[in-house]
Amino acid sequence: MEEQSKYWKFVKINSAGDLRLEIVMTAQTYFQQQFTNLDYTSIADAAIVRQLWQQFDCEKLEPAQLCLRCYISRLIYWVCFDLAKNFGSDKGFTCEDLLPFVLDDEVLLKSRNSYQSLATRTLKTFDPEKGSLKTWVNRYVKQHPEIHRFLLENGIFLISDWAILNDTNPQELQRIFTKMYQSATVEIQQSMELLISYHAVYREDRIQQRLKGKTLPCKQPTSEQLKQIIDDFQSRNSNLLKIKQLQLTNEVVLNKLQSIAAKLRKYRIAVRGGSVSTVSINQPEIQPVVEKELQLQTDTDTEQIEFIKQYQKQFITSLDLAISQVIEELINRSQRKKSFNQQAFTQGLELFHCQGKSMSQIAPEIGLKKQYEVTRLLKLSDLRADIRQKLLIILSQRVIDIAKNFSNTQRLQNLDKQIQTILDEQISTIIQEAESEVKNPTRNQPLKNLIARRICHYLDNKGQRSKVKG
């Protein structure tokens, strides 16, 4: 009976911040009535969840939904508990530090609220044909922005070494090892060549698994795979082996791959704003939670992760293209006016976004007298509005193209109807962040919002910043 009480006992945090169990009588009565003729103590959770899921409507607050939300509250607790158990003692946090980010549901029977808790969002997307509710909740909790941020700040990045190596290309490795670690040229070359051999063997095996309909976790390479990696490396790098006097064994290659992955992990944590003093999730005491996480991933999860990765790359690429087109079109239009000074315009953009100077500070540096003259020259509100519109147009088509690799025709048609709304919301968010920072800037420091950073990136590529500073 106690085991089944998770379907009517709601885990919540009270106003004092304490963890409490609240019995939801409506859920208890309903659950016991539904399973009155069955020995529900022996029924698998998957079967119970499926039956409850079939009986509720997302838009109505009803007993079946309450039962599932009670169960979800318990699952959320256990995901946070596992994270704290495996990482908390080393990093100095507890389960209670994580729960407020995700344990945000309220099972209110009479009042409605437009707020979407993690539990209600989970139920709206859950499909028992594609995975268990436990899988769904586990993913939602660990992908929650605040949980993700908290873990990164504590140097925790929940992805295996082998997955990191699998999705890092040699050119990216070269850039990271050069800029972040200032590694020696020979070390960089050796690491790149070893990564190429790893891809030739390990990634190819992954592709073959996928063609056979299997999507297994990225686990440590087998002895046979390590031997193949060595053979591939030696066949292409005889000169490098002589220079470094390397004697390659399975153990040497395994250790080298883990060393490369550790550096890549630190880089990924750093660029996401986390602490680079990190813990490897391949350590024996950490591996169980990673294995559990990977075992919970379904084919759908893997496709979703791959889709998100491709989308994130396209988002930045599309934003850069939008910024470039908007600024260059603006310059071309404005050059027809005798009063327009292109050098003053690009220098003003640089001083404002990349150095954080005020309009009054910028004016004398670009040959103007008044603050309002700078405002009129740069027209930043119009600039952001144009970037927003251009980005929406560019990104919409690119997302549809990406989705073609992950969706059937019917799903793609449905997705097409939603893309404009979804992208509009995300693009609006980054524009709002830019406008918010402009209203409350930290003077004489580069602006931190994404739009500003990419404008500075554009000016760097065009050589405009060097002209300003040189």
pLDDT tens digits, 188-233: 999 999 999 998 888 777 766 655 555 566 788 999 999 999 999 9
Q: Tell me how far apart the terminal alpha carbons of the chain are, to the nearest angstrom.
A: 76
Residue 1 banded pLDDT, cuts 50, 70, 90: very low
Using pLDDT thresholds of 50, 70 and 90, give the confidence band for residue 272. Answer: low
Instruction: DSSP letter for 4, please.
Output: G
- Pairwise CA distance, residues 430 & 388, whole Å: 9
Residue 367 contacts residue 341 (beta carbons within 8 Å):
yes
Look at residue 382 and tell me whether its pLDDT is greater than 70: yes
* pLDDT value for 244: 52
- pLDDT reported for residue 216: 63
| E strand or H helix at 337 | none
pLDDT above 70 for 458: yes
Closest CA to 87 of 319, 230, 274: 274
Q: What is the pTM of this model?
A: 0.46
Q: What is the pLDDT of residue 115?
A: 65
Residue type, 188: I
Mean pLDDT of the chain: 79
CA distances (Å), origin 329, targets 247, 333, 348: 57, 6, 17
Q: What is the pLDDT of residue 470?
A: 35
- Whether the Cβ atoms of residue 161 and residue 265 lie closer than 8 Å to each other: yes
Determine the Cα–Cα distance for residues 470 and 466; give it in Å rounded to an integer. 6
User: What are the structure tokens assigned to 215, written together?
Assistant: 């999507």
Q: Is the pLDDT of residue 58 over 80?
A: no
CB 345 within 8 A of CB 377: yes
Alpha helices in 110-167 (DSSP H): 118-125, 133-142, 145-153, 161-166
Structure-block tokens of residue 300: 């759908």
At residue 441, the pLDDT reads: 75
CB of 86 closer than 8 Å to CB of 73: no
d(CA 291, CA 462): 46
**Four-point Cα dihedral 301, 305, 310, 313, nearest 10:** 160
Q: Which of 448, 457, 403 is nearest to 430 (CA)?
A: 448
Average pLDDT value for residue range 319-346: 90
For residue 170 the two structure tokens come to 């040699």
For strand 19-23 and strand 9-13, is the pairing parallel, antiparallel, or unpaired? Answer: antiparallel
